[in-house]
Amino acid sequence: MPVITHPWAPVCEADARVLILGSIPSPKSRELGFYYAHPQNCFWQTLAQVLRAPVPSPDAASRTAFLKRNRVALWDVLHACEIDGASDSSIRNPVPNRFRPLLEASGIAAIFTAGKKATALFQAHCREEAGMQPAYLPSTSPANRAQQGRPEFMEQWMRLRAYL
């Protein structure tokens, strides 16, 4: 399996209140140049609904401005790993990002991990260093489409509002 190194810095301003973490960008997101860029991933639509805001344009600048305007930071749990395509279940030899400097330089009050694998990876490799417990969010990946239409999906995501 190829080793993938995370291509981007976190999106985070000093006034950010929540940090949302995925595992590592998918091949399509890396190809398109920004987080959650796969057109079938419902991340941006879901976050816009949570924030009661219009969905941002798909370019990186618009999405970055959207995050900053709403005091949401975005990054991933892993700096690098071996992975087969976009399959989180295939992740091997994970190298975690370090979160303490990011947390110390911001007002982040809560960390949310999007997907079971991101949550498990954060718990195993980052929780102690970050000094914060993550809250699980269901994945917005096309692979999780069956869950996304259920009321529980949005109920989980709406928990972000308490911190914004």
- State yes or no: pLDDT of 145 exceeds 80: no
**What percentage of the chain exceeds 70 in pLDDT?**
100
Annotate the chain with DSSP letters as a single string. Answer: --EEE--S--B--TT--EEEEESS--HHHHHHTSTT--TT--HHHHHHHHHT-PPPPSSHHHHHHHHHHTTEEEEESEEEEE-STT-GGG-EEEEE---HHHHHTS---EEEEESHHHHHHHHHHTHHHHTS-EEEE---SGGGHHHHTSHHHHHHHHGGGGG-
Domain limits, the chain: 3-163
Return the CATH number of 3-163, one of 3.90.226.10, 3.40.470.10, 3.40.350.10, 1.10.10.1150. Answer: 3.40.470.10
pLDDT band with cut points at 50, 70 and 90 for residue 114: very high
pTM above 0.85, yes or no: yes
Q: Is residue 130's pLDDT more than 80?
A: yes
- State the average pLDDT over residues 26-33: 95
For the segment 41-68, the average pLDDT, to the nearest whole number, is 97
